[in-house]
Structure 1
Amino acid sequence: MYDLKALYEAESIAHAIQLLQEHPEAQIIAGGSDVLVQMREGRRAGKELVSIYRIDEMRGISYEEDGAIRIGSLTSFSHITKDPIIQKHINVLGEAVDMVGGPQIRNIGTIGGNTCNGVTSADSASTLHAWDAIVEITGPDGVRRIPIHDFYIKAGVVDLKPAEIQTAIIIPKEAYEGYHGHYIKYAMRNAMDIATTGCSVNVKLSEDKKTIGDVRIAYGVAGPVPMRAPSAEAKAKGKPLTKAVVHEFGQAVLEDINPRDSWRASKAFRQHIATVLAERALTESIRLAGGVIDE
């Protein structure tokens, strides 16, 4: 049973904002893979819901005029994985969201819902951080765009003001052009499980494929929100493709991450896994970029 006070169906972004203004206590529902489960468990009992699921203008993947990739917040995980723009430029995002739940969840779950939950374990979150994603938010005062690392405020809380909705996620052209990436999810099971730790790395090599021109690394479950590891990035930038540099890169993440103890894994184990995943993800990213790591 779902203890639901009322459900309002939005027909457009403007209509959704109007409904949220008229019903300030209402909560947004998209695919419902999280909200309905929480409602059934009693955590959202008696709530009003504003459904945005029928707003087709918030679906799909396209290029913006400046070459940035626009991902509508209602785009399902399955569509992201199969989209030719994603496969051409940021295939690692498709691979990451393909690890969310099972086929049914991936068909109904949306990239917007996954990020708006504000949880550090979301498979899309660390990958989007590594791509320097921009979050588009639309509300009564118009449209604003903020870096994804500013969107996450604390565990379970994101920067959405009253009557605002997330309408898209933008990957700037300069953030994906020339980059290759890899995401690794470490979990207790190979499928249908929440990440114990997730690590996403993107790398851009020099023209001669001998040097790391740029590298970005981001984690899930390495802190209360998804996070980058700037110390590791700085350690590897401009360095040659050697095993020593890859190892230094992995060790440097310990200067930035702050995982917690939980029943899933201890802090010490998560720290160890984080260094291993960093090295593996960087190694694979370099391979995808056409580089060869020397001894």
Structure 2
Amino acid sequence: MFDITGYYEAHSLANVFELLKEQPTARIVAGGTDVLVKSRARVTGFVETPLIGISRVAEMKGVIMADDGTINIGALTTFDEIEHNKIINQNMPLLSQAVSLVGGPQTRRMGTIGGNVCNAGPAADSAPALFTYNAVCEICSATTTREVPITEFYIGVGKVKLQPGEVLVKFKITKQNYQGYQGYYIKFAQRAALDIANLSCAALVKVTENKIQDLRICFGAAAATPIRMPAAEAYGLGKEVSNDTLTTIGDYCLQDTKTIADWRASKEYRDHLVTVLPVRALALALKDGE
């Protein structure tokens, strides 16, 4: 049974802020694939909570490429829309691939990329890809607009850097952060569909004359938040692409991960996956780029 004390439908971004001022304890709901599940389960903070629906706020929807090449992804853009968007597929196929693995078709049709990030689950499929593209979160309140790199947006499990009265409006990815890169996303789970990752890995690489010019690796479900691999990324710079190089990159990833143990996988198992998945992801990324 849902324990909801009131529902308010916003028709514009300005209206969202008006409703938040009137209902300061309200939860924002977009696709509802996370909020309604937690409300029904009576999770702390979701009990007897009014909801503000934002699914009709046009300013927060869609994918647009600016004149300078920056790609803007509205926080209310659904996984299905991102997966099949022409701009995303031509320029950021890693993100399209990652969101195609979220839940089932119903979830992808309703769930939004902004909701997925703000839910702040360690295993969220969209987050590792956004981390590797160095996405920036545009956050608005009634009076201010600020930008926070997504790598700084996460605080912990279920916690992000949103202040009362603030809303995540869009993600921004500059041209220099996607042009010329090849990427691949691996979601390692018990089942091929409708499952949460035991560990996920997004790898993005730029190669010139068989040498790595830039390397970005991010894991999901390896720590309390998605986590980049600075030691492995630094090691890879300037190295020639080879099996030995990729294997060593995987080994370096253990320096930066703080794997967790839960009912889905032990720490030892995840540590093994940490060394294996980047090798596979990079090999597949480079193969796709041939």
Structure 1-normalised TM-score? 0.96
- Residue matched to 2:251: 251
Counterparts in 2 of 1:52-71, with a 5 A limit? 52-71=54-73
Aligned AA (1:226): P
CA distance in structure 2 between the aligned counterparts of 1:225 and 1:203, rounded to whole angstroms: 22
Q: Secondary structure at the match of 1:129?
A: helix
Distance in 2 (CA, whole Å) between partners of 1:65 and 1:87 is 18
CA contact (8 A) 1:30 1:53 kept: yes
Structure 2 equivalent of residue 276 of structure 1 = 276
Query: Aligned residue pairs: how many?
Result: 288
Structure 2 match to 1:119: 121
Cα distance between partner residues in 1 of 2:42 and 2:147: 34
Q: Work out which of the residue numbers 46, 49, 52 in structure 1 matches 2:51.
A: 49
Matches within 5 A, 1:163-242: 163-206=165-208, 208=209, 210-242=210-242
Residue of structure 1 in register with 2:93 after alignment: 91
* CA distance in 1: counterparts of 2:236 and 2:37, whole angstroms: 43
Supply the distance in 1 between the matched residues of 2:133 and 2:279 (Cα, whole angstroms).
18
How far apart in 1 are the matches of 2:183 and 2:161? 27
Can you list the C-alpha shifts for 1:105-159, whole angstroms capped at 9, x where unaligned?
Answer: 0000000000000111000011110111111111133211110011001111000
Distance in 1 between the 2:15 and 2:125 partners?
A: 30
Q: CA separation in 2, counterparts of 1:136 and 1:64?
A: 15
* Distance of 1:59 and 1:127 partners within structure 2: 19
What is the aligned partner in structure 2 of residue 293 from structure 1? none
1: CA distance, partners of 2:10 / 2:165: 13
How far residue 183 of structure 1 moved from its aligned partner, in angstroms, is 0.2
Aligned pair 1:144/2:146, yes or no? yes
Matched-pair contact (CA < 8 Å) for 1:203–1:289: no
Aligned residues with identical type, % of pairs: 42
Give per-residue Cα distances to partners, 1:170-216, cap 9 Å, x unaligned.
1111100101100000001110000100000001011x3x1111110
Describe the superposition over 1:6-56 as per-residue Cα deviations: whole angstroms up to 9, x where unpaired.
111111111101111221111100010111111111222211111111102
Which position in structure 2 is the counterpart of 1:105? Answer: 107
1:233-288 deviation line (CA, Å, top 9, x unaligned): 01111000111111110000000001111110000100101111010011112223
Q: Which runs of 5+ in 2 are unaligned?
A: none
Q: Distance in 1 between matches of 2:245 and 2:224?
A: 28
TM-superposed deviation, 1:57: 1.8
Work out the CA distance in 2 between the residues paired with 1:54 and 1:110.
13
**AA partner of residue 272 (structure 1):** H
Q: Which residue of 2 aligns with 1:77?
A: 79
Q: 2: CA distance between counterparts of 1:146 and 1:221?
A: 22
In structure 1, C-alpha distance between the alignment counterparts of 2:84 and 2:268, rounded to whole Å: 37
Instruction: For residue 4 of structure 1, give the secondary structure of its aligned residue in structure 2.
Output: coil
Q: Which runs of 4+ in 1 moved over 4 A?
A: none
Task: Please tell me the root mean square deviation across aligned C-alpha atoms, in Å.
Answer: 0.9
DSSP-derived class of the 1:75 partner: coil
State the alpha-carbon separation in 2 of the partners of residues 214 and 83 from structure 1. 26
Letter in 2 for 1:71: I
Which residue of the partner structure matches residue 155 of structure 1? 157
How many Å apart are 1:68 and its aligned residue?
A: 0.8
* Gaps in structure 1 of 5+ consecutive residues: 291-295
